[in-house]
Amino acid sequence: MSKSTLDDAVAPVERHPWLAWWRQRPNLIRIISVTAFLLWWEYVGRGMNPLFMSYPTAIFKAGWAMTASGELPAALVASMVPFSIGLVLSIVGGIALGILLGQFWLLEYMLDPFLNALYVIPRVALIPLIVLWAGLELTGKVVIVTLVAIFPVIVNTYSGIKDVRGSLMEIGKAYGATEFQNFTKIILPAAVPYIMAGVRLSVGLAIIGIIVAEFFTAMTGLGGIIVVYANNFATAKLFVPIIVIGVLGIALSQIVAAIERNLSRWRVSERDRF
């Protein structure tokens, strides 16, 4: 069944032809909406005290200057290094821990009190301790990012493995799969959509993690710039790293969503079936 016939069947019939015309063009509506917001912001922002509020053209100028001086690229790189290491540790470590907890009951019962305790304590509360143990530099930042971002990967991998349907397991059993084959050929592929959902959440949390880390440890990177310019009331410059973080977040989650769609295609289309 093709997707379009399905949409046609579900989409309600619009009473007015002009409404139907707009309904077909969601991107046009998005562009108009954002442009209108920027114009309104420009107009209102210019009338406000520049200590408290800035406006789009001023922010763009500030961003251009900060890029030309090399300040913004340097900050971006400074943030991306601990961010990437922490994210990779979260994904690899989270999947490994989730698999271990899901496969071995002894480990599960031994470790889940600690994981639950860590999960309910806001990780921000641990930052002074982490700084004490791991320092203000790269190691400390990586530990903060990992602690913030690893949990959804662990939890989702674990539940993905625990939720594998009995009927799928029976296929392996009936055809004489070994324990290892059962794991690699049935349990793990069945858990992939869950794991990818965990990774998507983890990326968002890792971005929060790196900015918080830069606020509370050595002030470097994008988080560092935010603190410095906020303290100096350089509001236009303050907006630049915020916008860069936003763009970065959107780009990363789009990439992960694309990978997720690709790996979970069989599941998405199972959901679309009647």
Partner 1 sequence: MLKIDRVSKSFNVRPTGKKSAPAPGRMTVLDDINFEVGEGEFVSLLGASGCGKTTLLRIVAGLIRPDLGDVSLADSRIEAPRKDMCMVFQNFGLLPWRSVMDNVAFPLELDGVSRPEREEVAGHYIGIVGLKGFERHYPHELSGGMQQRVGIARALTRKPLVLLMDEPFGALDAQTREALQDDFMQIWKELKTTIVFVTHAIDEAIVLSDRIVVFSARPGRVERIMPSVVAQDRLARDVRARPDFALQVHEIRSLLRQQGNAA
Contact residues toward partner 1 (CB under 8 A) are 167-168, 170-171, 173-178, 181, 185-186, 189-190, 192, 265-267, 269-270, 273
Q: Output 24 or 167, the one with its CB closest to partner 1.
A: 167
Q: How far is the CB of 188 from partner 1 (least distance, A)?
A: 10
**214 C-beta neighbours (distance < 10 Å), count:** 26
Least separation in angstroms between CB 2 and partner 1: 12
Q: Provide CB contacts within 8 A for 112, sequence distance 6+.
A: 101
CA distances from 126 to 137, 224, 243 (A): 16, 20, 28
Cβ distance to partner 1 smaller for residue 197 or 222: 197
Percent of the chain as helix, strand, coil, to the nearest 5: 85, 0, 15
Which helix (H) or strand (E) segment holds residue 91: the answer is: helix 71-103
**Cβ distance to partner 1 smaller for residue 167 or 231:** 167
If the CB atoms of residues 114 and 175 are measured against partner 1, the closer one turns out to be 175
Size of the chain, expressed as the number of residues it contains: 274
- Minimum CB separation from partner 1 for residue 236, in Å? 50
Q: Smallest gap, in angstroms, from Cβ of residue 266 to partner 1?
A: 5
Residue 23 and residue 14 in contact, taking contact as beta carbons nearer than 8 Å:
yes
